[in-house]
Amino acid sequence: METKNLFASRSLCEISDFTIDERKYLFRQVRTLKKAIHDRDEATMDRFRVKDPDFGIYEVFLEDSTRTKESFRNAADFLQVKVNELNTTVSSLNKGESFADTFHTLTGYHNCIFIIRSKVEGLCRWLKDDCDAYAHRNGLPYRPAFVNAGDGRHEHPTQELLDEFTILEDNGFDYDNLHIALVGDLFHGRTVHSKADGLKLFSHVKVDLIAPDELQMPDNYRIKMEENGFEVRSFDSIESYLAQGEISTMWYFTRPQLERMGEQVLQKADMLRASITFRKEFMDKLKPGTKFYHPLPRHKLHPTIPTFLDNTPLNAWERQSINGMYVRICLLSLIAGQTGFDYVPPKQVAVGEEEDYIVEVDLSKHPVKEKMVSEGVHPIKNGIVIDHICRGDSPSDIRDHMRLISRVLHLDEAKGGEWVSCGHKAGEEHTYKGIIFRPDARELERKDLKRLAAVAPGCTLNIIKDGKVAGKYRLHMPPRIYNFDDLQCSNEACISNPAECEGVPAMFYRTEDNLFECAYCGRTHTFKEIWKNAK
Ligand code: CP
């Protein structure tokens, strides 16, 4: 019986695209390969090699790179496959061609793995589905895979893999506990953003964030870390970190990307750099066995790890960089389907059907009080009443949101009104809710109910006919919101934002804490924030 290779043609757009168990398997491969290369064990090295001059790996770097681009290129050479690079200074992207058309073209030329660095966040996620459809409709005998080599401020998942591998080498491959300090530009650094999910690899994680306010970790990544069960602490400088008792033995530095910041911040550049740059006088405070990591590059004038530390046992960043090629050889070999046949995933918990978030109330079992149709501005004979809108919010927030609901449901032209009602039980605070009345409104279709659930989760829709409630629906928060042309991710750098002009439809997934995460760039929003021109 042929074994299915679960890694073949897989994309890696975010670190969580590979499960923890899959990453552990990858790291076993990397250990084997690294040893084989050091021992010149040709037979073992050969097991990784694809040895197919028609198997195309294509590098598209729309931002500068040395390590990522060159380690992937050398990894592809090692695998003995065809490797190409798009010359982005003379490509038709500069004539206004879309990403979709560019990558369709390259997919058609027998390229199976794309490695892309771009400032556009979520680009690989979008291309994966879009080029899959292209390959299918053109009858191509392969499906292209996409590897994110860094997208804007979002993620750098292959850097995360080599960081994890290097940390594991230093802690004896202990997946149980990790205490790590992240130092530097945590605001812009995509390598530290990948750690919010990446470090779930370890069972117990403590993360110390060391950066002044201007460079601190964005809230969404910090919240994600906390949701993932990490203990998170913040410090505004290395000095203040060293003044307390629990100092990590693993320090992960990043480069301040001050060039991305405004004039006001640049005026404080020296002060910002000083707070995240290691100094000689700090040496005595470090614990024995401490290691420093850095994704590199270091700035030649202002390195956060000064060069006098290069020749000390603190230096783990050079091995980290070298590991980049080993990790990338193994990753490409898996995606090429050369290795990975022996991987057996842990037993999956069955995933249920998509929950039904539109619930029709059985009126024969739950008769409606007649008060419903006569309450409000005017009694309604025929039409709709949307009740329980934004229950618990302030009256002004409810009013604002009812305007958005009317717009999203195209009810703003219809006659009727909105009303904020105040309910109170003895001894309790007032609770407000919104009610929208639309006499003689058109019939709502299933798609309208989906829109209503998305824009007003928790509401109740009453359909009034001949002065009676003829239908009633309770609308809960959908697990996924997509397929509406008035959705928009608030991140201007996201591939789905109209600012990118690619026409990629926005799509959001509900998180555990009832926020909506963009399917491409991962930015989280409340259900009120995912609509075009929302406040
Ligand atoms: N760490 C890293 O991504 O380096 P490059 O920018 O040189 O690829």
Alpha carbon nearest to ligand 1 atom 1, residue: 295
514 phi and psi angles, rounded to 5 deg? 60, 35
User: Does the C-beta of 65 come closer than 6 Å to ligand 1?
Assistant: yes
Residue of the nearest CA to atom 3 in ligand 1?
A: 68
Could you give the CA distance from residue 508 to residue 506 in angstroms, rounded to a whole number?
Answer: 7
- Specify which of 206-215, 382-391, 402-411 reaches the highest per-range mean pLDDT: 206-215
> How big is the chain by its Cα radius of gyration, in Å?
27
Catalytic residues: 67-68, 95, 117, 156
- Tokens representing 137 are 């409709």
Q: What is the pLDDT of residues 472-527, one digit of tens each?
A: 999 999 999 999 999 999 999 999 999 888 999 999 999 988 999 999 999 999 99
Residues 6 or more apart whose Cβ sits within 8 Å of residue 291 = 170, 249, 250, 251, 313, 314, 316
pLDDT for the residue 259: 75
Task: Reduce the DSSP state of residue 285 to 3 states and report it.
Answer: helix
Residues whose CB falls within 8 Å of the CB of residue 172, separated by 6 or more in sequence, listed in order: none
For the Cβ of 159 lying below 6 angstroms from any atom of ligand 1, the answer is yes
Which of 369, 386, 474 has its CA nearest to residue 433?
386
The CB of 295 under 6 Å from ligand 1? The reply is yes
> Average per-residue pLDDT in the chain?
93
Closest CA to 465 of 327, 372, 338, 351: 372
Distances (CA, A) of 340 to 8, 10, 27, 149, 258: 8, 12, 12, 22, 41
Question: Token match 């459809």: residue?
Answer: 133
Mean pLDDT of 333-360: 84
Window from 193-197, 295-299, 451-455, 469-473 with minimum mean pLDDT? 469-473
pLDDT beyond 80 at 253 = yes
Q: Taking 80 as the threshold, does the pLDDT of residue 86 lie above it?
A: yes
Please state the separation of Cα 331 from the chain's center in Å. 20
Residue 375 has pLDDT above 50, yes or no: no
For 174-196, what is the mean pLDDT?
97
| Whole-prediction pTM | 0.90
Pick the atom of ligand 1 nearest to 66's CA.
Answer: 7
Express each pLDDT in 22-40 by its tens digit: 999 999 999 999 999 999 9
Q: What percent of the chain has pLDDT over 90?
A: 82
The identity of residue 267, as a single letter, is Q
pLDDT at 377 over 60: no
Tokens 């560019």 belong to residue: 102
Report how far ligand 1's centroid is from the alpha carbon of 85 (Å): 16
Higher-pLDDT residue of 379 and 172 is 172
Distance CA 261, CA 250 (A): 28
- In short, whether 296's Cβ falls inside 6 Å of ligand 1 is yes
